[in-house]
A = this chain, B = another copy of it.
Amino acid sequence: MTVPARRSWWGWGSVADELSPAETKALVARTEALLPGHDFTDHPPPDPADLPIPPPRIQPPPALTGLCSPDPHDRLAHARGKAFRDVVRNLHGDVTHVPDLVARPRTEQDVIDLLDWCTDATIPVIPYGGGSSVVGGIEPRFDSPAIALDLQHLDQVLEVDRTSRAARIQAGTYGPALESQLRPHGLTLRHFPQSFAYSTLGGWLATRAGGHFATLYTHIDDLTESLRVITPAGTGETRRLPGSGAGPSPDRLFLGSEGTLGVITEAWMRLRDRPRWQTTCSVSFTDYPAAVAATRALAQSGLHPSNCRLLDPAEAFLSTATTVDGGLLIVAFESADHPVDAWLARAVEITAGHGGTVLSTRHRGEETTDSAGSWRSAFLRMPYQRDALARRAMIVETFETACTWDRFETLHAAITDAAHQALTAIRGAGLISCRFTHVYPDGPAPYYSVYAPGRWGSTVAQWDEIKHAVSEAIIDNGGTITHHHAVGRDHRPWYDRQRPDPFAAALRAAKHALDPAGILNPGVLLSGESPLAQLDTPSPR
């Protein structure tokens, strides 16, 4: 079992990586400079031993007892994901909706046995990967008993096909363990979501996670060759195929199903050779629309940069300490096969045509002292900073979407307007920044960060107001409620509006066929089709 060491029960990541006192002090000072007058009193997390966690209301049959942990702290650590609202509720010692048991299957047969028991006893089961959901995806937000099905023991790369560059990997494998098992073969998945160290392959697949590549292979979907899924109605495995036209894609039904149709136990994943050439370039713009136009031209150029992240001025300042008037575009190319100079040269030409100025260019192996390098380090520290600020009554959260290029300007204005109005209603201050995490020929995936001084005790409700306002703006202006964070329970009301009725009917029918007792992650994606229907009410809060 290779899981990250000593996870924080209340906040992001591992205890060892929390901000140091010096880092915290510097962060608070920086934040205070931007948002003066806020009360930065620290509200440390409670001792979990003091929390009134109720005993389990269910007991496994004897054969499954060894797989099921009734330990209160174990259950507490599986009670919710790692969104801002999750962290703050933890800080407040809110212990509603703690699962009754944490089940840890060691084999596929264990998964089958557990699902059989839960089907017979009508007990909701929440498939659990790394627990890094930021959308309420793993929280038993209902009153009935529940089991968290933690796949962490299914953590092996089982088979490697060097010729086809693919590997059969168990779903409970965490990012770093996955990469370290592939490294001896010279192969890599190169799927690096921000949650990489604290999330698993199965979680990525179930939520259509977005990864490293800003173009082409943006979602884990595109890296998936075949899936093995255990449903209450039986087990199935798709063929390993590089491409197929035999009916609707079976994998695409389970990708993004968020644990509602079955438990993904294994997948054959498409890999690549480790890159030998890498070049990253930062380009500044004095004008945001010009920066957007340059990014669009790059996305439509057929150059397929591995990175193509446009930071708006606020984002550039906050995460790279670079001051730009219009935007900072980070463009990278990488290859295991050939130097990428011709690609970068043309990319720079394109950005220059839109008024971009190259700030720095860095090649593989060179030191990362430029703004692109700063951005990368900041990216991985962000969740820890979020937690330090959350303890100090700051509202710090993100949300994301995607839209076609023709709609971006309107959507972006509607989102920022809605966020500012909501911020004003709350307290009158706050900051919203935007970056593109992924870009396509037909549109960008904008990702927003919100920083606002809140009132201790109310920051969850305050954030919920903001989230409601921006989600309305997204759905009313042609965006998707999520490009890669998934639907979970938090996005349900807007997902329900986004999803066409015939597809909802088809999905509901498929769910009923595969999970007739409706035990699998009730309340996520679907409502009202199961004996557990009363658990399925969309509930964003």
User: Which residues of chain A have a CB within 8 Å of any CB of chain B?
Assistant: 161, 163-166, 207-210, 216, 218-219, 221, 225, 229, 231, 233-250, 252-258, 261-262, 270, 272-273, 296, 300-304, 335-338, 342-343, 346, 350, 402-406, 438-445, 478-487, 491, 495, 498-503, 505-510, 512-514, 525
Contacts and interface: CB of A to CB of B under 8 A. Distances in A.
Quick one: copies of this chain in the complex?
2
- Which of A165, A261, A506 gathers most chain B CB within 10 Å? A506
B443 A483 contact: no
Given A253-B503, A506-B261, A246 B482 contact: yes
Contacts of A444: 242
Contacts of A508: 513
A65 B510 CA distance: 37
Contacts of A257: 247-248
Contact of A237 (B246, B249, B500): B500
Given A164-B406, A229-B502, 19 more contacts: A207-B245, A219-B245, A221-B249, A234-B502, A239-B480, A241-B480, A242-B439, A242-B444, A246-B495, A249-B256, A252-B252, A253-B506, A270-B441, A272-B300, A301-B335, A302-B338, A342-B343, A506-B509, A506-B514
A239 B479 CA distance: 8
5 tightest CB-CB pairs across the interface, nearest first?
A236-B500, A242-B443, A242-B440, A506-B510, A342-B342
A220 to B, nearest CB: 9
15 contacts: A163-B405, A165-B441, A207-B245, A233-B502, A236-B501, A236-B502, A241-B404, A242-B403, A246-B481, A247-B258, A252-B252, A253-B253, A302-B337, A337-B350, A509-B512
A85 B142 CA distance: 58
Given A245-B209, A440-B243, A234 B501 contact: yes
A440 B242 CA distance: 6
Contacts of A337: 300-303, 346, 350
Contact of A241 (B336, B403, B441): B403
Contacts of A245: 207-210, 219, 256, 480, 482-486
A247 B499 contact: yes
Contacts of A208: 245
Contact of A238 (B404, B503, B525): B503
Contact of A513 (B221, B248, B250, B506): B506
Contacts of A272: 300, 302, 441
A242 B215 CA distance: 11
A242 B338 contact: no
B478 A246 contact: no
A285 B221 CA distance: 35
Contacts of A240: 404, 442, 478
A465 to B, nearest CB: 22
Given A241-B480, A244-B482, A403-B241, A442 B270 contact: yes
B338 A262 contact: no
B166 A442 contact: yes
Given A245-B208, A498-B239, A506-B510, A404 B166 contact: yes
